[in-house]
Amino acid sequence: MAVRVGIGYDVHRTAEGRPLVLGGVTFESPFGLEGHSDADVVCHAVADALLGALALGDIGTHFPPSDPTWRNASSLELLRLVRAMVEGHGARIVNVDTMVVCEAPRLAPRRDAMTVAIAQALRVGAQQVSIKATTHEGLGAIGRGEGIAAWAVAAVETA
């Protein structure tokens, strides 16, 4: 078996009047994220990392914002479709590691729920999904609360 690694990154602006969904979990928040789907930066970064590990392009290639099919789509559903692509290429997800960058909300109280939601979408154990968070210490657009970003790294085994 060979292990392949991919990296993913996503960022979305904050927007009033939308739900805030991170890692498949809806947070109580006065703002959500702007985007064509539910704008879940955590799931999007994980999807890109998995696609990258197998050189399958990126999330925008497979689920373009120009396609109305994906309007307000659940990013957990997109992650399930990416998992099916990974499995369709004879690969197995080893683990995913994410870093969410935001000033608010605090993720710690919902981190376990996010971990379980992503693990279920990927059909892996919760111990194979890591979610961490940090702030931008008030610096830049994310530090001013104008957006939320996420990085992800994924490892997959191939035959």
User: Which residue ranges make up the annotated binding site for a divalent metal cation?
Assistant: 10, 12, 44
Name, in order, each residue with C-beta under 8 angstroms of 90's C-beta and a sequence gap of 6 or more.
158, 159
Report d(CA 147, CA 92) in Å as an integer: 32
With tokens 């995913």, the residue in question is: 96
Q: Which residues are annotated as a binding site?
A: 10-12, 36-37, 44, 58-60, 134-137, 144
Name, in order, each residue with C-beta under 8 angstroms of 19's C-beta and a sequence gap of 6 or more.
26, 29, 32, 38
Strand pairing report for 129-134 and 25-27: unpaired
